[in-house]
Structure 1
Amino acid sequence: MQEFVLQADDLDLLIQAIRGEGYQLFGPRLRDGAIVYDEINSAADLPRGWTDEQEKGRYRVVRRDDGAYFGYAASPHSWKKFLQLPRRQVWRAQKNNRGLEITEIVEEAPSMAFIGVRSCELHAIAAQDRVFIDDRYRNDSYAQRREKLFTVAVSCTSAAATCFCTSMHTGPEVTLPSDLVMTEVSHGGEHYFLIGSGSNRGGQILQRLPVKPAARQHLEMAQSAVRRAVQQMEQGPRSFDSSDLKELLYRNYESPSWDQVAERCLSCANCTMACPTCFCSTVEDTTDLTGDQAARWERWDSCFTADFSYISGGSVRPDTRSRYRQWMTHKLATWYDQFGTSGCVGCGRCIAWCPVGIDLTEEVRRIRALEQSGPDKTIPEKQ
């Protein structure tokens, strides 16, 4: 992929070129004390000069010392809320003089563009593609939205303390196809984007921008910025060996670690709502007070809710221990058997948005330590 230089002052030209193609554009915005994904109309809507600080059960936005547009790590939201809608109507029924008339709700999927998609999030979207498009049970709502999607991916040049995409081999450099791929460089008085196209649609947009071919120093500065993010994660507290996660969890299905984490877990489902790959849903049927109208809705659900695994006679997973084990084992182990990859992309959202600060990477280390040395082994501190 040939790469070019787009000056930061010309970023709005990119945004307007995408909007000019009829796309509804979504990207990061600063709102309510967080960097969230929402509709944007210009570069002025982006969180320029802001970053996020994340730790176990903690999220804060703070000012950067430069004017970076994409200088944050992971939004509280993930892009899945635009593709797998949190709540959508499936059909409605109306009683009339001819009986009951049922109408299927067929939506017209909008043409959407995402700007600021990180490498881990591209992997998350690819994971949901395997669930909703490539698997036996196709979700037409998701598939139609996904088909029209235009993505502008951005390599990460800084990492939050909760990030561990290097352990999951999903970033920080963009490694999956995207219509456009950018790396932001803000250093020594220079501020530009290294940009390249990964599709015909992306190439058409790129031709309309005032770009120039990237020189060697541009490429080196961009690569150096990405390496900085790699070093932050590899030297940080969340880096761990993921090479044998599936086998490790299968061997430790009865590990005492599940009892330990269950003493803290609230079964609140925050981790699954924030996770960019969790796809569990349920259906609910509603009627009005007269009984003349009814509707069926599909909405997000979680394996942490008591009713999710309920069948005749009771819940398959009646306690927090079994629910947390189901979530983590599915995410890191049985997902491989179902879809060929891990269900975790290392974004760290489940760590930051857990109200009691449960850390998935610590749980992996605890299971490994207990297996190696018995139940009295403490978790080794990351050096």
Structure 2
Amino acid sequence: MSSSPSATDRSPIADAGPLSLCDRMPHVPADRLVAEMVPPPRFDSVRFSTYIPDPNQPSQTEAVAVLENFAAGLGGAHAVGGSKRAGRGFLGLGRARAPKPPAGPRGVYLDGGYGVGKTHLLASLWHATPAEPALKAFGTFVELTNLVGALGFQQTVQTLSGHRLLCIDEFELDDPGDTVLVSTLLGRLVDAGVALAATSNTLPGKLGEGRFAAADFLREIQGLSARFRTLRIDGEDYRHRGLPEAPAPFSDEQVTKAAYATPGASLDDFPRLLAHLAKVHPSRYGALTGGLSAVCLTDVQPVPDQSTALRLVVLADRLYDREVPVLASGQPFDRLFGEEMLNGGYRKKYFRAISRLTALARDAKGLTESD
């Protein structure tokens, strides 16, 4: 159980106490979902020139060259109904249909392990594409599927059809329905002239393996694969190149004192937070963490089941995107997921979450001093 600091330990700012993720139930209007389809804060300033390829991994240098050429090729005219759109509103029903693009791949697919810089490169492609921001969209796979849920399929097609580029990060197919939904959506967008780019930890032809009966959806998966030119990016997790081991967890008292002393920080009991995440759609986890300067967690322990684990992965991704440090007590982050999970079909997601939470834990060391 966490204990609050004594009155003598509190600054006037901290008297109100820290925030709580468990008290937040964010609602994101549909037009905001579209307006926020841009690279997250961590990747707002990245460019191809700021990507540092591993000299021992030539595939990384090759990927930069291919993506630079891909971006340059997107500078041609693109029909959007005769006039530029003023913003990212999701109406635009009067736009003319874009000319049908040439046959062949209409996108790039960045495959590789976690921590090789795929999101950095994807965001760099978004920034390098010569089009105004309103004609480019960047979002995670779960955010894209949620957009379809909010707008409806036809309205989503109409909303995105006028775009020059759609970037999809963390491309994952966690259930058969998403396979059909996304395959159909991307097919319609390609027909409308939209270029596609995606990142994932799995080759397009292998999506879904180890997660559901992939053979039942092989046709859809193979059709999706044909839309992309695959770029394999080899390498080790850059977040741990030459860095010290992850900091050991702090005590409940240290975490609580830091939360009270840090304006804009949240403080939550980890098991209670896991229960709360089940009440919030994963597409809203970005809004859930909005405005936080730090996340402080007490009593971190292994997650009890796979559904909970997958929600935690999304939360870790959104905290990492927004550069929110995480200070924690209890078990270290490399013990969050049991051996069965780390050997299962979602293992790459879990390793990515551990990697990102470890990086955020390093960022949080300045919030308190270990004994």
- Give the TM-score normalised by the residue count of structure 1: 0.27
Task: Compare CA radii of gyration and give the structure with the larger one.
Answer: 1
Greater fraction of residues in strand = 1
- Give the TM-score normalised by the residue count of structure 2: 0.28
